Amino acid sequence: MASLVTYNDGLRRIDFTLTPNGKRRSVRLGRTNAKAARSIMAKVETIIADKLQSRPHDAEVSQWLASLDETLLSKLRAVGLADGVGVTQTTLGDFLGRYMKTINGKPATFKSYGHTKRNLLDFFNASRLLADITEADADAWRSWLVENQGLAIPTVARRVVAARTFWRKAIRWKLTSSNPFEGIRSGTQQNESRKFFVPADTIQTIIDACSDVQWRLLIGLSRWGGLRCPSEHLALTWADVDWEAGALRVRSIKTEHHDGHAVRTVPMFPELRTLLMDAFEAAEPGAVHVITRYRDATQNLRTQFIRIIRSAGFEPWPRLWQNLRASRESELMREYDLSTVCKWIGNSPAVAAKHYAMSIDRDADFRKAIGRGQAQQKAQQSPSDGHGQGMTCKKGAHEKTPENKGFVHGRQVLSNTDFTGEWAIQGSNL
């Protein structure tokens, strides 16, 4: 049924036929030791037997297929040994285990997908066949996340999107034919209630409450420089600080895989410059990194930050570090064009608008808008500009209403609901 062939000084392949008189096919194994090659050939023979009998693979073969790397799996798929009867019997646990091995993203991405994997296994069980999960099951899973797990709608939305991504990969791997999560309503992934603008005077009081120069700089780099904490803080070296140009070279782990986004230049804002100078004076001779005391990227900075905030007389806000960064970007958007600000902060205008932009003072903005509108209107209607001669403003006159149809005592009225005066036309040749 199958035979192991060694050729070209140690290269190995498995030759086989799917039918007694069928075409001879091969799976090239490369330079593989004889024991491993014979083990693979045994599995290939079992797969061939299952296909000839139109029966599902047993648990051992299914698990073996699920554990293969993409290189060997693609070779088996190319000759018809990794799709069809048998592969459709892959369990949810086997598939998710194999999928998680393919994730090459950042630790945060792996962690987020890990939460979705845990929810799927808790609800469906690891032994549930992947192909048996239906659209109705997907809807039930989403409801369970809300009602049983008590997750917020944005969190539920992110996990539905992740599950949808899992199944798209399963379809590409030909482990199932449909995606039960494709049509499911995910909901918004944004929780506006967790956006919180941290005022400049508040953060300055908190910085002053820090007894550690490194902590003052950690907070300042996020609030005044807009850096991502802790990854961009830990990557910052003294060689990245250009005192003469007043600039910081910031390396971003999160965006380095995007062309042209591995490094960005951030202005050394005055508030940030003071903190950097304090840290430089306190640094040990020959120090390379700006932040030296908290080098472990997995270290929990949140707990200590909460203590500092409360010691300064404030209550912690949601998303402690991200809202510092978002507060800075929101401030800068009021002074500089959006494209420039996004280059400094290291995100796109779409991401900035969706995840970062916040109103700093809604009441003040509203009053400013009203004042600006009245000023523009008065400038347009003022007779001092040489236009509208023969027009006089009658203070306290009646405004245009549906009843008078814009006419008062035979004179046409030009009015605006935001202006209390009445312009009356003098004469008929205007």
pLDDT tens across 272-314, in order? 999 999 999 999 999 999 999 887 766 778 899 999 999 999 9
Which range marks the domain in which residue 310 is found? 198-356
Average pLDDT over residues 41-55: 85
| 224/352 same-domain check | yes
Instruction: Tally Cβ neighbours within 10 Å of residue 217.
Output: 25
Determine the pLDDT at residue 400: 41
Taking 80 as the threshold, does the pLDDT of residue 430 lie above it? Answer: no
| 104/24 same-domain check | no
The answer to whether position 430 is within a domain reads: no
Instruction: Tally Cβ neighbours within 10 Å of residue 166.
Output: 20
Average pLDDT over residues 207-233: 93
- In the structure encoding, which two tokens stand for residue 402, read together? 């549906």
| 350/370 same-domain check | no
| 65/128 same-domain check | no
User: How many angstroms separate the CA atoms of 43 and 49, rounded?
Assistant: 10
348: left (phi over 0), alpha (psi -120 to 50) or beta: beta
Taking 90 as the threshold, does the pLDDT of residue 167 lie above it? Answer: yes
Calculate the average pLDDT of the chain.
80
The answer to whether position 243 is within a domain reads: yes
| 307/387 same-domain check | no
Kindly report each contact of residues 128-133 with a partner whose C-beta sits within 8 Å and lies 24 or more positions away, as own/partner.
128/91, 128/92, 129/88, 129/89, 129/90, 129/91, 129/92, 130/88, 130/90, 130/91, 130/92, 130/95, 130/170, 130/175, 130/176, 131/88, 131/89, 131/90, 131/175, 131/176, 131/177, 133/92, 133/180
| 113/138 same-domain check | yes
pLDDT tens per residue across span 110-150: 888 999 999 999 999 998 988 889 999 999 999 999 999 99
Average pLDDT over residues 44-49: 89
> What percentage of the chain exceeds 90 in pLDDT?
40
The answer to whether position 43 is within a domain reads: yes
Residue among 233, 238, 245 at smallest CA distance from 281: 238
Structural domain count, the chain: 4
Task: Band the pLDDT of 364: cuts 50, 70, 90.
Answer: low
| 390/328 same-domain check | no
Instruction: Tally Cβ neighbours within 10 Å of residue 227.
Output: 28
pTM, whole model, 2 decimals?
A: 0.50
| 374/350 same-domain check | no
